[in-house]
Structure 1
């Protein structure tokens, strides 16, 4: 039948509803999903605030839609659905917290045609979720959208092609810039800075260029790599990572490094052709979302693009020195065995990693801090610890802890009845809370009906609504806490049982392997051959498990 209404500026139809219709209509729990792409170009219509305003204005005219949550993915590409906020929204869908998803337009949901089509055509209907794309005038509950199953995939394919086209254009522009000798990196090489008026041009950085020149000079003078590193650290020269941090070009602590020069950092500088004034780029490419090195034949090399820090003749002499040093070290053809303690074994005196070395086929560990940082940097460090002696000591420590853990696990098994009782108690409370929540939601719906019919005043309605809403939110939070504790209890039990089984399998004949180290050992601290401390991955595991039991 005909109904009065009006058209907005976009041609959308909004209708007047009678009081009886408002009272009987289903109220949807709506979630606003907002996504700002990594390729955001600054257009106002795409900003986070504008997307939310558009959706809120639309929902304000829809009495059957109530906003219960807003999910925002900022700076996230639409070509993948592995987005933090989007995944949280799906979790809330599956737990029944929301049953309607609203986006500004289809491109905000995603630019991958296949996955977008899956959510719109399969996932949302399966979970009885209403889907609305405001600017595309799409509403899965609107019968006039019955033919939109043809339009939606088409728009998704356009969005996907748009994203792919942007990516292709960006890569093509970068490659052309490389071929033109322009610098396209995010941060300049150590010894250079970007020109203030042109971020693609390199200028000599007088703060760090002398350090680079000194590294090359020491090397050509026959100074070993270890000695160069030692001199740099003793002189207090800033490392590339720390200099970038000091100048505000990086903030990630992981990228800053330790603040001490390492041999691999110096080797990288010595091998870089950029210091001859040549631009060498395209050394890596993205394959399957990962950066992989490219073959040298694929590098883009443009000569004489900027001021050199060293003469070409000096660079070539340094490469000859490095080649002779590599050839000398390469006389021993026997390959090294795997260092199963790499990154896990530290000096008890200075805290630095212990270095594994080989002499006449025998492996040993020692602290090389004095070699890198200067004499007396580590006055009490380990100078020589044979690997076999270390491994024997570690196995003895593991077997000793195995006895304790296996014994504790036996005691833990005796608590099975208590654990079962706790699980049942939590399950019963969750069920009770869910029933109370459902009753309160029914009361909340009736409040609105009483307000519309005039039984309740506006003040009474808002006060009572706030009370029931608080009860519902408190109950939902408690259910989440109980479910979290149930999961924590199960995870701790499973983890500790698994550890106990692994340790029980360690016998007198067991050899220390990479698998065993990865499963059990967090780190090893060596003060001396007789004073070795092991931090296990399972330490305090039993205590945490008992805390969970007591807490629930």
Structure 2
């Protein structure tokens, strides 16, 4: 910067002071000391007309400060001759921003003095000021790095770095950094989770909480004397969907301590980002749980699916997100329409049906039928679990072993092979470095081979982690049978499919395309239960619910058939009475011309139809063979001397032989009946 003359006699003098060291209410001791030091300096050097600009408790990396902005306005207005600070760090700890401020001072001919650093622009350019600015910024960067290191070390040990407490808990006064359950707030948290399981929307939950005058988290903390985050709010009962959504996604309610969920990317801007699960520090069971793990997971699965309420309904269908297409794997979409103004269509179809990207078949299934099928499966499996728990456990584990044992064995073989290859690559990389160091391998080939080896190692590490996860999941699946048994025992009534039952029991439902039409239509449905998958109860098991359902269906079918017969009989009697009445009026000559014309047309149409029917029947019947001549006719033809066909000659000869045999038999019978004569 160039030399600046002092305009203290022509313009009012301005004095700027800034500090972030504030450990008590009001101005800090540091601010008071700086004011005293600068006033002494101004008095000794003959500066008068002093005004202080102060920013108390604001970071040195921030340049949006009220005091600084006010001073710059005065400088641009031409009301400042000299700016004096205690040292250069007080104006800021950012080399670029401090340089821009100095350029502003230069532009408006303002003298700049840092008392403790012996910097005075009136004495000419001081190159050391640049190094001081760099050192000041390095100090902030180094402090930020040290703080991050301390925070990371604490989080690795399970120690918190923040004093904020999740709604439903409060900080323990006995153990620093530990949480204990706030029963009043925890009851609200449990209610919110159970409401989601019951199929309620976030908006309806918030509306119910507002109606019951339940305080929002900030108001609750204020009433209980806890630290309040949002100090300003208009309505203490104004629950919002954002607040409830934030509560529902917190893993802490399952007793899981999660540290390092955000990280500061830039110490200057204090911009933060959400960390990945791999970067976080998770400690299971470190805090008391408010909701169980499965309830939390079920709620997360429910909230992952976007649900929209149909036009004629207030709430979305509870099956949305659970039904999948067996052919394309897409989710089924709920359709709820008024068809031709007559009946309501309440059914699910494949979301890939008639789409531009992939065209799948419709996979149409009514909502009532799929709910009935789900309820039947839950009833059947639950009854089997209650009455055959040991057999159920053995069957589930046997099925799990048969389905996954081969896969786990393959995973273990792949892990062993991948680990062996990973170790080989480490040796190759070591030899590669040695070859490059001795000059045997050029830098070009070294870089290419090193990148290839590094990429292969990364892929192997990812694959090993995935295979290991599959093995761990298999081991965990073997323990889920007990969880399903506990779930069954929690319910006492399975007569109706409730929304909580649906969400807790059903993992997914795979719907196949139907075959046939009308009453002959058949459709396969695969229902996967939580913890145990698509479990099938032995066919010989018949539950009381199924017996009752069969009885009910038989009764309904019998009642339906009886009703159909009654209706048919009533229609027949009605038609018969109408026909008798019409016939009587016709005989009495009381028909109108229109009725006579309609009757003639009907009779003509019937005669025409009967004629066509006889002709069609005659045409469809096979031709009859010609009628054979009787024996009498054959004898008459023979007497005339006409020739007979071989068949006719044979028939006539056979007839005569038959007659001759009959006469012979009669003669012999008469002869045997006569008494024998005695010879004298």
TM-score, scaled relative to structure 2: 0.40
Which structure's relative contact order is higher, taking Cα pairs within 8 Å and 6+ residues apart?
A: 1
Which is higher, the Rg of structure 1 or of structure 2?
Answer: 2
